[in-house]
Amino acid sequence: MSVSLSGVGLTHANGKVALNEIDLRVKLGERVAIIGPSGAGKTSLLRLLASNLQPSSGQIQLLGQQPWQLSAGKRQQLRARIGLIHQTPPLPPRQRVVTAVLAGKLGQWSLGKSLLNLLHPLDMPGAQAALARLDLADKLFERCDQLSGGQLQRVGIARVLYQAPELILADEPVSAMDPVLAGHTLSVLNEEVSRRGMTLLASLHAVELALAHFPRIIGVREGRIVFDLPPAAISVNALDALYANEQLQAVPASAVPAPVSVQIPRC
């Protein structure tokens, strides 16, 4: 079992309930997409799984360990085995791409090696290989502030691939890319994950991408899991209900009753 949540709830400091009674089990090597409207709790769920947030209630188990029962040092060791791909990778603007990618291994390297690596990149072939998988091999020595949003996202993916964790969590990993590149990048990510036997959980805006690339889809709405199905079993009605937005429909009330249409957001 790679991830196991039982009855997990998360309440923010301001009293807002982000997640409620989440039960979720993900086996080793599984690939899962999380979909749902904005503000449904997709990012909160991923940050919880990255042990970036502590649940307010319930049990959380990652890679067979309970992160909040561990000492701080052991928790850091567990975190090194989990990789989080950020929607906008937080990279210092003046850092070079090679350094940003190699920083993926900081949790596994000794401090001496990490500091030496800052003076001279120790594993240039490794960084180049990770970037080449995402067609960015030529950007190895560019500075991060010279890249576009989509390129930065791919550098973030390359960093996590270089980290080679057992569990990859991806928060909207392709949101800044055009549809073709987004599809291609997702298939590269899925390929790498399957080849190396990693587990992948990704939240996605684009429903078609989720349905096309993942064998298991989880729909999240208002902090709860609405459905947990293979893509073939998901009906248009289920998607409609997932993305239904009462607030948006309330505005053009005076107009002719709008024909019911599937509102599938694209990237």
Partner 1 sequence: MLNPPLRDPAALPRLALTLLAVLLLWPGLTLSELNLAVLFEQQNAANMGGFLAEFWPPAHDREFLRLLARATLETLAIATAGMALALLIAIPGALLASRALSLSAVHRGGRPAWWAQALRWPVRGLLIVLRSVPEIVWALLFVRAVGLGPTAGVLAIAITYSGMLGKVYAEIFESVDPRPSRALLIAGSPRLAAFAYGVLPNAAAEMLSYTVYRWECAIRASVVMGFVGAGGLGQQIDLSLRMFAGGEVASMLLTFLLLVLLADQLSRLLRARLL
Cα four-point dihedral sign 125, 131, 135, 136: negative
Q: In angstroms, what is the minimal distance from the CB of 88 to partner 1?
A: 9
Shortest gap between Cβ of 39 and partner 1 (angstroms)?
17
The whole-angstrom separation of Cα 134 and Cα 189 is 9
**Which residues form the interface with partner 1 (CB under 8 A)?**
13, 50-54, 72, 76-84, 86, 89-95, 99, 103-104, 106-109, 111, 114-115, 118, 163
Minimal distance in Å, beta carbon 226 to partner 1?
Answer: 27
Residue whose CB is less far from partner 1, 142 or 228 = 142
Rounded CA gap, 52 and 223, in Å? 17
Report helix, strand or coil for 63. coil
**Taking the complex as a whole, how short is the minimal distance between the CB of residue 100 and partner 1, in angstroms?**
8
Select 76 or 245, whichever has its Cβ closest to partner 1: 76
Judged by beta carbon, residue 153 or residue 213, the one nearer partner 1 is 153
Kindly report the three-state secondary structure assignment for every residue of 152-207: HHHHHHHHHHHHCCCEEEEECCCCCCCHHHHHHHHHHHHHHHHHCCCEEEEECCCH
> Which one, 81 or 184, has the nearer CB to partner 1?
81
| Beta carbon nearer to partner 1, 84 or 207 | 84
Q: CA 9 to CA 262: how far, in whole Å? A: 30
Nearest distance in Å: CB 55, partner 1? 10
Q: How far apart are the first and last CA of the chain?
A: 32
